[in-house]
A and B are shown apart, each in its own frame.
Chain A
């Protein structure tokens, strides 16, 4: 069975989790060497750990390369973040790095809206999400992102 087909089966096996309250995901993907290399270039990294010639024999992904998974989760699963006009501005990011993603690894990402609240007159929200090895379920990264909304004319929402 090809690895991509295995990923498809994993996705279908987890389809029952979709639609649960507050749960976004899971979504599945395989870490590609192309993304590792382009992301390394984008952040100015020359770290050998993120190259095909990694001294540890494994090409790791730079930390935060998949930080945008929350947006993919929201897009694919809808999420429960209220739809608002204007822009969501990231104000805080917290990450625990448990084990680096590596090229060829199958990853499962899932998340949830953790909280919405008003802070200093602004509408804010926290999204918690994590990546796990799709086969072993080992935790790789856990993130919490905080955003605030600014209206189309710069006003607080």
Chain B
């Protein structure tokens, strides 16, 4: 656990470095996570025309990829205190488009016994929240 994360006070916020959501990031994630592609004409994550037909302005990143970015940020900050006994609950409330520059955020809500509970979210370069939820980590690694 980083020293900054260990010394948090209620209401304190942690912010990640930006993560560029683009075609390269989508491809790397899809390969690493063994994502099975949808048939041509049905893949909203890589096909602009399919995405438009489904009501989006362009291809969207998958929810699990956004979730993975948020989980990675928490793991970077809290290490085994998150990996052993932590939890993450996130809803994907708006689409992530190619070109979005994402940041992950944590705000400490309360300390409850051995658990620290955070508001957790991912927002884009315009400050629009795209995924919102809660996370918990153990206070003692």
A interface residues with partner B (beta carbon < 8 Å): 35, 38-39, 41-45, 47, 49, 56, 60, 62-65, 67-68, 71-72, 75, 86-87, 89-100, 150, 152-154
CB atoms of B86 and A97 under 8 A apart? yes
Query: How many chain B residues have a CB neighbour from A under 8 Å?
Result: 42
A3, B87: Cα distance in complex, Å: 31
Q: Which B residues between 7 and 50 are near A, CB-CB below 8 angstroms?
A: 17, 19, 25, 28-29, 31-36, 38, 42, 44
A91, B64: Cα distance in complex, Å: 9
A60, B83: Cα distance in complex, Å: 9
Contacts of A45 in B (CB 8 A): 72, 75-76
Q: Can you list the 6 inter-chain pairs with the closest CB atoms, starting with the nearest?
A: A90-B63, A154-B55, A42-B28, A38-B32, A39-B32, A42-B32
CB atoms of B72 and A97 under 8 A apart? no
A20, B80: Cα distance in complex, Å: 36
B interface residues with partner A (beta carbon < 8 Å): 17, 19, 25, 28-29, 31-36, 38, 42, 44, 53-55, 62-65, 67-69, 71-72, 74-76, 79-80, 82-92
Contacts of B90 in A (CB 8 A): 92-94
A74, B10: Cα distance in complex, Å: 42
Contacts of B69 in A (CB 8 A): 43-44
Q: CB < 8 Å: which of B29, B38, B76 contacts A87?
A: B38
